[in-house]
Structure 1
Amino acid sequence: MVNYYNILEVHEEVSAEEIKRSFRTLIKKFHPDINGSNKKWAESKTKIIIQAYKTLSDTHSRKQYDTLHKHSQNKQNTVRDAKPKTSSTKSEKISMEIRIIFSDLLNGYTSSAIEKYEYLLNTSPDTDFFLHLNHRDFIDCKFLLAEAYEKSGEYELSIKLYEYILEKGKQAAYRQHLLEETKERIRNIYCRKLAKKSSPDKALIHYQNLLKLDLCKNEQAFVYKKMAECSLKLQDYENALKYLHVALSLKPKLQGLNKLRINLNQYLQNCFI
């Protein structure tokens, strides 16, 4: 059962006024308009915050919720007490650490989350998050980690996480909006961050990786144009011509080709001298 008190970051004996105050603070913090880089996640976050507030701000619904919540806690305690009282297993400890990492990410403590995440990978390199989180939380956790690395300038690490999300998220039709946003972020990182700051040969690799995504024709044409430009810088005129031809076959009216065409025409003229 979802703990609405935790969602609103208040304790169970809190007053109605404190609930309202916390609700207003959280809505401002997670409002989609100020979380443009992660708008879909912010919308999901504010939705549950609003639901929690509606439930706890009404005296009657709060009383009903408290009854159900108490019953749920008692049930969990009963199951827990029925288990042998032995020390926590390694798996249980890892599950707890992953939950803490996820909580830090949800609450914006990205530096702390990354530090704990990297420590966990170093101490338990074979850890599979998917075994410790349900599918929805798993995808969200990986997405927030990727976003945290992207914001810190660790683009190679963020790309790996984003690409992992695409692979693992394929079966989750209800998260298509997140997968589309993930693909958009991958495109932006490859084009605007990695390829732009790389040498032509390395940029080519980034563009080739980008082509593995399910891009539309216009996007493919743009990538092939950039590959032609990289090949030209490497004086690989044959591949430059090949990539340019592919780009134009995908989008005949592709813009920004004047300089590329001039250089390639000079090459072709020299070939027949």
Structure 2
Amino acid sequence: MVNYYDILEVHQEVSVEEIKRSFRTLIKKYHPDIHSRNKLWAESKTKIIIQAYKTLSDSVTREQYDKQYKHLFQTRKKSSFSKKETTLDSDIQARIRVIFFDLLEGHSNSAIDNYERLLQDFDAIDFFSYLNHRDYIDCKFLLAEAYEKLKRYDVAIELYEFILERGKGSTNRRHLLHEIKERIRNIYCRNLARTAPPEKALGYYEKVLKLNLYKNENAFIYKKMAECFLKMEEYENALKHLNIALSLKPNLQGANKLKTKLKLHITDFAI
């Protein structure tokens, strides 16, 4: 259970007026419009601030929340004397919450350090099952984003692709799934394929094609694959992929330059 008093940075005996003042300050501080480079993080942050405010600014919901929180605190206190497995679960959940809030606060390095320590301690556990579904997805996304910023693309891709797989067939949060596709595409095309040998770059481009992007984007990918085959001196394959690219986008930029190069190597060149 989230501590809404901590979210609003106030103590438990605070007045409604103080809650309102803190809410206004925090909403301005974390508003997505002033965090354009990290908009999803800001959206997640403001959503939980708004939820905390709605709960604590109303006397009825605040009283209900306080009772639930007090009951949970007492239950956890009693459970410290129960079975070892229960204590272990509570420890994992608490550590996952710390990771999640570090990510929401933008403390990426701390979150990753704690996450990797958790991996060492409990290798076979799906830690994120200790969160509700929405927090589960947000936490995975923010963690992937943190790894991407540190240029640890292999881990970022694994986390992004996991979220994408979980979201297949879902109509919820389409904007998030679309953004994840774009991030996967950018990592493969801009960060990995550019510096990879053509044989390996082809593998990255094939993975991008599986994302089912728009025609124009796929046309660009097929052109890049044609360039790879040209470097590998597989001219027929290069021509084949260039033809596919042009069938998707006839006025594709850079295609004429590629045609000129292929004409030097293919007799009876036709496209």
TM-score by length of 1: 0.86
CA RMSD, aligned part only? 2.5
Relative distance call for 1:141 and 1:48 in structure 2 (3 A) is closer
Indicate conservation of the 8 Å contact 1:191/1:207, yes or no: yes
CA offsets 1:102-149 (integer angstroms, 9 cap, x no match): 121111111010001111112222121343122111111110000001
Structure 1: which 5+ residue stretches go unaligned? Answer: none
Indicate conservation of the 8 Å contact 2:230/2:238, yes or no: yes
Indicate conservation of the 8 Å contact 2:55/2:62, yes or no: no
Residue in structure 2 matched with residue 8 of structure 1 by the alignment: 8
Corresponding residue SS for 1:268:
coil
| Matched length | 267
Relative distance call for 1:125 and 1:200 in structure 2 (3 A) is same
Q: Report the Cα distance in structure 2 between the residues aligned to 1:173 and 1:139, rounded to whole angstroms.
A: 14
Relative distance call for 1:84 and 1:267 in structure 2 (3 A) is closer
Relative distance call for 1:52 and 1:74 in structure 2 (3 A) is closer
Q: Report the Cα distance in structure 2 between the residues aligned to 1:70 and 1:18, rounded to whole angstroms.
A: 17
CA offsets 1:172-198 (integer angstroms, 9 cap, x no match): 432222111111111111111111222
Indicate conservation of the 8 Å contact 2:41/2:142, yes or no: no
Residue in structure 1 matched with residue 63 of structure 2 by the alignment: 67
**In the alignment, which of 72, 76, 86 is matched to residue 72 of structure 2?**
76
Q: Report the Cα distance in structure 2 between the residues aligned to 1:88 and 1:34, rounded to whole angstroms.
A: 46
Indicate conservation of the 8 Å contact 1:190/1:206, yes or no: yes
Residue in structure 2 matched with residue 191 of structure 1 by the alignment: 189
Residue in structure 1 matched with residue 23 of structure 2 by the alignment: 23
Relative to structure 2, which stretch is displaced further, 159-168 or 261-270?
261-270
Note the C-alpha offset of 1:87: 6.0
Identity of aligned residues (%): 58
Corresponding residue SS for 1:230:
helix
Indicate conservation of the 8 Å contact 1:129/1:138, yes or no: no
Relative distance call for 1:84 and 1:37 in structure 2 (3 A) is closer
Relative distance call for 1:131 and 1:43 in structure 2 (3 A) is closer
Q: Report the Cα distance in structure 2 between the residues aligned to 1:161 and 1:130, rounded to whole angstroms.
A: 12
Note the C-alpha offset of 1:2: 5.5
The one-letter code of the counterpart of 1:13 is E
Residue in structure 1 matched with residue 141 of structure 2 by the alignment: 143
The one-letter code of the counterpart of 1:187 is R
Does residue 163 in structure 1 map to residue 137 in structure 2? no
Q: Report the Cα distance in structure 1 between the residues aligned to 2:67 and 2:209, rounded to whole angstroms.
A: 52
The one-letter code of the counterpart of 1:168 is R
Relative distance call for 1:172 and 1:12 in structure 2 (3 A) is farther
Indicate conservation of the 8 Å contact 2:92/2:127, yes or no: no
The one-letter code of the counterpart of 2:239 is L
The one-letter code of the counterpart of 1:164 is F
Note the C-alpha offset of 1:25: 4.2
Relative to structure 2, which stretch is displaced further, 119-128 or 257-266?
119-128
Indicate conservation of the 8 Å contact 1:146/1:157, yes or no: yes
Note the C-alpha offset of 1:229: 0.9
Relative distance call for 1:80 and 1:115 in structure 2 (3 A) is closer
Structure 2: which 5+ residue stretches go unaligned? Answer: none
Relative distance call for 1:171 and 1:6 in structure 2 (3 A) is farther
Note the C-alpha offset of 1:201: 2.0
Corresponding residue SS for 1:238:
helix
CA offsets 1:214-236 (integer angstroms, 9 cap, x no match): 21211111100011111112222
Residue in structure 2 matched with residue 211 of structure 1 by the alignment: 209
Relative to structure 2, which stretch is displaced further, 206-215 or 164-173?
164-173
